[in-house]
Structure 1
Amino acid sequence: MKWGRRAAALLAGGCLAVGAGCAHAPPKLAPDVEARLEATPGGYLTGSVAGWQEAVVLNRRDFIWGLAFSPRGGRLAYTRLGSKAYFLSLWSLGPPPTLVADPSINPYEFDVEGVAFSPDGGLVATAGKDGVVRLFDAATGELRGERRTEEPLDAVAFHPDGGWLVTGSLKGLMTVLSVPALEYASEERGHVGPVSALAFAPDGTLYSGGWDKHLRAWRTGVEALRPGVARVRFERRGGSAVLGGTVNGKAPVSLVLDARAPAVALTSEAATAAGIDVPFLKETLNVPGALGTISARLARNQSVRFKSLVLEGVDVAVCDSCVPQGSQGVLGSPFTDRVEVAFDEVNQEAILTLKGGVPEGMRAVDSLVLSPRSDFTFPAYVSDVTVDARGQRLGVGLSEQKPERNRVVYERERKGVDEPQGPFNVGALVDAQSGQVLQKWPLHKGVVSTAAISPDGRSLATGGWDKRVYLFTEGDAAARGEHEFDWSVRRVRFSADGRHVGVAAWTPQVASSSGDSDPAAMLLGVRYTEPTITTPVEGAAAPQ
């Protein structure tokens, strides 16, 4: 069925289109099954899916990008594009579903696709193409923290213990940050090109998908690291190298590397953002400049951080005219006397190493570290990865065409030309240990943008740029359910208990007195033939 502006009337009348006809909505869960589910902590439905049942439209006016359910707490979150900014819409699933908060994230120029709940459901993380990861309170929408990374982001996932999260960038970098402080822990250049998806199994195994046609599994473990080396992205500006760092753990700054400069300098704006009370600085430092010697205010014993490398006791000159335009500071000889700098031109990274090694007094820092476990290669781009409740199976979205929207794609859509079907334009059930494709369904035309595995690992929901969402169950080649939207489907996800599938889609912008268009965020009920209740078995996750 195509969900247009008549969806509300159909729902109000209790009429749903299932397959080719229109019938009354199937009943909800039997009272005894629902009671057992409510009484089973961590419980979820298992069995063959039979199709959709009730549907609730949450949004019919925005482009919806990312969507996630909370593992606990009965909440749902999606990122939406408003007129001038991206927003994080936070819902209580009720019944009935209720919008509880709608905080802004970042300006509309920077897409926000990454969204994830913490394991306890108390926090929501977003990751956007402005390179910033943000933490929000899941109940109130209050911003709890943010950190700017070096590269545009499009994926985020929480470790099962809740103390760490991982972001994935458009350039293949996976960065581990602590929670809630968002302190840098470690990183791995996991893919060539975009990291399209990140998903943790209950045992802490991380699965990452990429446009390099690889799906990789990573072991995770906490190690005590004595940070003396950091790899930092740099760019060339006017013959100088510019690095990104933070001052006093507060202010992200771009710093020009210049060993000829006699001081480490910051602009007054950057110094203030770093917590330096500039007007009350008493000491000064003479700094030679193009127009003569400048008397700059001096802030002693500051800290400068580059990922895991921290320099303490740095004296900083506050001097606007000492800093090249477009930057916030200069790393002069006091920095290069302590740190050796080498350049990796291939990855555009500066390798910073403390001269003389790590000082004896420098405290080791506990960090979550990723190490490769498995590498599964597919004959198609990996657009999405999800993990079942036991960590034994994966739901994988695969596309023969690169899932990249461009003018050619928009022209085909405008003309109503369908993309071709293909043997690997599919959603697939994949064994998490071996990478073997257990079953795949090549029904979508063109890009399969998303694939969500059910908690029991037996069923799959998929969505694509052909405007369709399908529901499959293992052993059956036909779809058990189908919905058609009015534009590209961006994300589908199963709820933790298996009762619902959430859908994020784009909707055409139409002129109406209310501003409403066609459904863009929807909650679909999942109907099972003979549902039972189960919980993840201890130790049943994919072995290391």
Structure 2
Amino acid sequence: MRGGVGLLAAALLAAGGGGCAHGVATLPPDVVSRLDETPGAYVTGATAGLGKGAVLNRTDFIWGLDFSPRQRRVAYTRLGSRSYFLTLWALETPPRKLGDPAINPYEFDVEGVAFSPDGSLVATAGRDGAVRLFDAATGEPRGVRATEEPLSVVAFHPEGKWLVAGGVKGLLTVLAVPDLAYVSEERGHEGPVSGVVFSPDGTLYSGGWDKHVRAWTTQVQSLSPQEARVRFERRGGSAIVVGALNGKTPVGFTLDARVPQVVITREAATQAGIDLSQLKDTVDVPGALGTTQARVARGQSLRFKSLEVRDVDVAVCDACVPQGFQGVLGAPFSDKVDVAFDEQTLEARLALKGGAQAGAAVVDTLVLARRSDFTFPAHVSDVTVDARGARLGVGLSEQKPERDRAVYERERKGVEEPRGDFNAGAVVDAATGKVLHKWPVHRGVVSTAAISPDGRSLVSGGWDKQVHLFTEGHEAARGSYGFDWSVRRVRFSPDGRRVGVAAWTPQVASSSGESDPSAVLLDVGYVDGATVVPPGAPVAP
């Protein structure tokens, strides 16, 4: 399934990294000094090429990659032998590894990775449906939240108080930072969300395999949540929803208004912090084998995403809960909450009867509202935004960017994919969706594209194993770099001096287990006249 070592990649391996199709002009010392002395500043100008950088990994499949906005750090997700890992580096000379914590088992891909705006946290989003937070300086875990569908991408809001995770079924989920509490959601796309990114003004851009890039305005509203949409499944004629008991353990409930109590198992009660030995009151609960006298815990709470149902009396009885479930939402729940099922989306809408309950907490909620919708003649594989929020970098692929058996067979046989007008990286106007520049040079899937901080240049990568750098006004690539297998992600550093690449590497027989470069930092060269833009300063497009 994995190919051999390419000549260019082998040469780069021996040289310690770096491959460039053109000569690269280094930045003048005064430009470098200004960038070093001004956090948040970035270089602007026409690029001259990609130069030799640092190789951070030559052993693993690298999936996602991101740079810290201020501190000079980079993070990537890698597939180890038994699990995925988050690897953190300080961009010193040479780079210094900061941490390498495990994320989740190898069965669940982890493509989403993003730094918080202040650089103190790193978030990951994986196919196990979980968002995880890590300390960016040490790699220590800082929190985890399970969502309702597998996740592909993640991005922090500019204020750092929220993040958005995109799912493989199109859901955009907003979580609070740092506790990762559920905030809000929107069904943003049909099928996988391939990119989410915030502009400095808080506008969210999301891209998907449904060939759309959508812009979302964000507004903070102080609300007492009165409804929620939660996933449900049908099992044996019963509908099952998952809710948190007392804000702790998730419980799989079946809904049955015929049961006169809300009932949970002993195990669920213990995990929710209920001390069974202290329960004195009892209630009668009918079941398949007759009526059972069950102990009752008064005044508990149930949470379904942001919706909290308070002051619920819960009976604890294993025999009263159908096999395969952890609880039953009986008549007391139905008296307080209306439930409507959408069989098409498999979502249940829960709404409090009579509005918010007395004493319900008022929370700051980041709400997404669709502003505009840009449609393209190809699948969107990636979305990034420049420092001004004026231009987007969009990866476009005429072939769905889905790795299946047919793709692997073509790679194994060395079949070369064709070029296409929309197998391209593109610079797109963020206000109108107009394609300003497009470079259709890749063969087959273009899996990623990143715009430079000044919005003038674009770097793209694809399954043709190539990374290309472009600048407006030039049809040909300003620099190129070859890998020995698929390129997964490319990103410009916030100051514009580097390009980070995440790629897969073949497994080759070696005493060290090392193969071709898969996590690489490339230096970006600029022609004479490159200047520094201070943070927040306007720059002409």
TM-score category by the smaller chain? over 0.9
Q: CA deviation at 1:241?
A: 0.5
1:203 match: 201
Q: CA deviation at 1:255?
A: 1.5
1:120 match: 118
Q: How does 1:256-295 map to 2 (within 5 A)?
A: 256-295=254-293
Cα deviation, 1:96-145, whole Å, max 9, x if unaligned, reads 21111111111111111111110000011111111111111111111111
Q: Using the alignment, how far apart are the partners of 1:276 and 1:282 within structure 2?
A: 12
SS in 2 for 1:18: coil
Instruction: Report if aligned partners of 1:2, 1:483 keep a CA contact under 8 Å in 2.
Output: no
Q: How does 1:491-502 map to 2 (within 5 A)?
A: 491-502=489-500
Question: Which moves more between the two structures, 126-135 or 292-301?
Answer: 292-301
* Residue identity opposite 1:9 in structure 2: A
Q: CA deviation at 1:540?
A: 7.9
| Equivalent residue for 1:62, pick from 60, 66, 75 | 60
1:409 match: 407
Instruction: Report if aligned partners of 1:202, 1:541 keep a CA contact under 8 Å in 2.
Output: no
Cα deviation, 1:457-477, whole Å, max 9, x if unaligned, reads 111110111111111111101
* Residue identity opposite 1:453 in structure 2: I
SS in 1 for 2:16: helix
Cα deviation, 1:494-529, whole Å, max 9, x if unaligned, reads 111111111111111223221112111111111111
Cα deviation, 1:60-98, whole Å, max 9, x if unaligned, reads 111111111110111111111111111111111112211
1:140–1:353 CA distance, 2 compared to 1 (3 A): same
1:494–1:257 CA distance, 2 compared to 1 (3 A): same
1:534 match: 533
| Equivalent residue for 2:299, pick from 279, 298, 301 | 301
Cα deviation, 1:415-462, whole Å, max 9, x if unaligned, reads 110111100000000111111101100000111000010111111110
1:11 aligns with 2:16: yes
Cα deviation, 1:194-253, whole Å, max 9, x if unaligned, reads 111000000000000011111111111101222111111111111010112212222222
Q: How does 1:452-531 map to 2 (within 5 A)?
A: 452-530=450-528, 531=530
1:76–1:273 CA distance, 2 compared to 1 (3 A): farther
Structure 1: gaps spanning 5 or more residues = none
* Residue identity opposite 1:134 in structure 2: R
Q: CA deviation at 1:378?
A: 0.5
Root-mean-square deviation (CA, aligned residues, Å) is 2.0
Q: CA deviation at 1:157?
A: 0.6
TM-score for the superposition, normalised by structure 1: 0.94
1:228 aligns with 2:226: yes
TM-score for the superposition, normalised by structure 2: 0.95
Q: CA deviation at 1:539?
A: 7.7
Q: Using the alignment, how far apart are the partners of 2:99 and 2:443 within structure 1?
A: 36
Q: CA deviation at 1:188?
A: 0.9
1:227–1:379 CA distance, 2 compared to 1 (3 A): same
SS in 1 for 2:14: helix
Q: Using the alignment, how far apart are the partners of 1:513 and 1:45 within structure 2?
A: 42
Cα deviation, 1:366-402, whole Å, max 9, x if unaligned, reads 2011111111110011110000001010000001111
1:369 match: 367
Q: CA deviation at 1:272?
A: 2.9
1:136 match: 134
1:448 match: 446
Cα deviation, 1:1-52, whole Å, max 9, x if unaligned, reads 855344342238xxx54328xx8xx575332221111112210111111111
SS in 2 for 1:322: coil
SS in 1 for 2:458: strand
Q: CA deviation at 1:534?
A: 0.5
1:333–1:76 CA distance, 2 compared to 1 (3 A): same
Q: CA deviation at 1:363?
A: 3.6
% same residue: 68
Q: CA deviation at 1:538?
A: 5.5
SS in 2 for 1:4: helix
Q: How does 1:345-384 map to 2 (within 5 A)?
A: 345-384=343-382
Q: CA deviation at 1:167?
A: 0.9
2:153 match: 155
* Residue identity opposite 1:19 in structure 2: A
Q: Using the alignment, how far apart are the partners of 1:119 and 1:138 within structure 2?
A: 11
Q: CA deviation at 1:279?
A: 4.5
1:107 aligns with 2:105: yes
Instruction: Report if aligned partners of 2:208, 2:381 keep a CA contact under 8 Å in 1.
Output: yes
1:420 match: 418
Q: Using the alignment, how far apart are the partners of 2:62 and 2:277 within structure 1?
A: 46
Instruction: Report if aligned partners of 1:148, 1:252 keep a CA contact under 8 Å in 2.
Output: no
Instruction: Report if aligned partners of 2:21, 2:49 keep a CA contact under 8 Å in 1.
Output: no
Q: Using the alignment, how far apart are the partners of 2:208 and 2:540 within structure 1?
A: 23
SS in 1 for 2:269: helix
Q: CA deviation at 1:286?
A: 3.5
1:469–1:302 CA distance, 2 compared to 1 (3 A): same
Q: CA deviation at 1:536?
A: 4.3
**Paired residues, what number?**
535
Q: Using the alignment, how far apart are the partners of 1:492 and 1:348 within structure 2?
A: 35
1:79 aligns with 2:77: yes
Q: How does 1:186-197 map to 2 (within 5 A)?
A: 186-197=184-195
1:112–1:395 CA distance, 2 compared to 1 (3 A): same
SS in 2 for 1:141: coil
Cα deviation, 1:478-507, whole Å, max 9, x if unaligned, reads 011111111111100011111111111111
Cα deviation, 1:274-314, whole Å, max 9, x if unaligned, reads 23334544444443332333343432222111122101111
1:326–1:101 CA distance, 2 compared to 1 (3 A): farther
SS in 1 for 2:222: strand
1:81–1:277 CA distance, 2 compared to 1 (3 A): farther
2:336 match: 338
